[in-house]
Amino acid sequence: MNKVLLLDSHNRPINICSWKRALVLLMKGKAVNARHLNDINSMIKVENVLIPLVIKLTYDLAIPYQELPFCRENILVRDEFVCQYCGGKFHPDELTLDHVYPKSRLGPDIWENIVACCRECNQKKADRTPKEARMKLLRRPYRPKDFLSFELKKYPENLVRYWREYFEAS
Ligand SMILES: [Zn+2]
């Protein structure tokens, strides 16, 4: 997973891009290494080229707001593949999406009403509210705020540890 965090010229994260795109930006002088040049651990070696894990644009760019897509994958990532009723961690294939307020009673398809749910819990809950089914939600489902910090959940810790500080700062 050779990915690079791209910062704007004010050190705010704007994208996670491929190493190839990062290399093009670096070669064209549109970006520079955002970290200390001697911090060799924050570089990746791809085809004998060292590429920094964090680069920074050298020019100002207006970034359009990116809405996080409302889809099954992102709901499962938000809930960390944990059934929101029994707390079990599951393979994505074993998880369903549950309408907290039942779909049969016109519960809406929105972030705040959909949770990851294992098959067993989904069957048990059926067309009832959590209260009616006497099943407690681990936490109230929410709409993730920021597209890019949400994307971080999809990357391994050995990458994210070099990136996190830029999210905390911005
Ligand atoms: Zn469950």
Is 61 in a helix, a strand, or coil? coil
Asked if residue 138 belongs to a domain, the reply is no
Asked if residue 140 belongs to a domain, the reply is no
Ligand 1 centroid–CA 94 distance in Å is 10
Q: What does the pLDDT read at residue 100?
A: 98
Asked if residue 22 belongs to a domain, the reply is yes
Question: CATH number for the domain including 129?
Answer: 1.10.30.50
Ligand 1 centroid–CA 99 distance in Å is 14
Q: Could you tell me what percentage of the chain is helix, strand and coil, using 3-state DSSP and rounding each to the nearest 5?
A: 35, 20, 40
Question: For residue 89, what are the domain limits?
Answer: 72-133
Q: Which residue has tokens 């994958």?
A: 73
Same domain, 51 and 86: no
Ligand 1 centroid–CA 121 distance in Å is 4
Do 141 and 111 touch, CB atoms closer than 8 A?
A: yes
* Domain count within the chain: 2
Ligand 1 centroid–CA 165 distance in Å is 34
Burial class from Cβ neighbours inside 10 Å (0-12, 13-18, 19+) for residue 111 reads middle
Asked if residue 36 belongs to a domain, the reply is yes
Q: What is the mean pLDDT of the chain?
A: 91
Ligand 1 centroid–CA 73 distance in Å is 18
Same domain, 122 and 165: no
- What is the mean pLDDT of the segment spanning 26-44? 87
Q: Is the pLDDT of residue 5 over 90?
A: yes
Q: Are strands 95-99 and 13-18 parallel, antiparallel or unpaired?
A: unpaired
Asked if residue 161 belongs to a domain, the reply is yes
pLDDT tens-digit map of 107-162: 999 999 999 999 999 999 999 999 999 999 999 999 987 788 888 888 988 889 88
Ligand 1 centroid–CA 118 distance in Å is 4
Ligand 1 centroid–CA 19 distance in Å is 39
Ligand 1 centroid–CA 112 distance in Å is 18
Give how far the C-alpha of residue 96 lies from the chain's centroid of Cα atoms, to the nearest Å: 19
Could you give the maximum distance between any two Cα atoms of the chain, in Å? 61
Same domain, 76 and 38: no
Long-range contacts at 125-131 (CB < 8 A, ≥ 24 apart): 125/85, 125/98, 127/102, 128/102, 129/100, 129/101, 129/102, 130/85, 130/100
Ligand 1 centroid–CA 35 distance in Å is 43
Q: Are strands 54-57 and 3-7 parallel, antiparallel or unpaired?
A: parallel
Asked if residue 139 belongs to a domain, the reply is no
Ligand 1 centroid–CA 115 distance in Å is 11
Whole-prediction pTM value?
A: 0.72
Asked if residue 61 belongs to a domain, the reply is yes
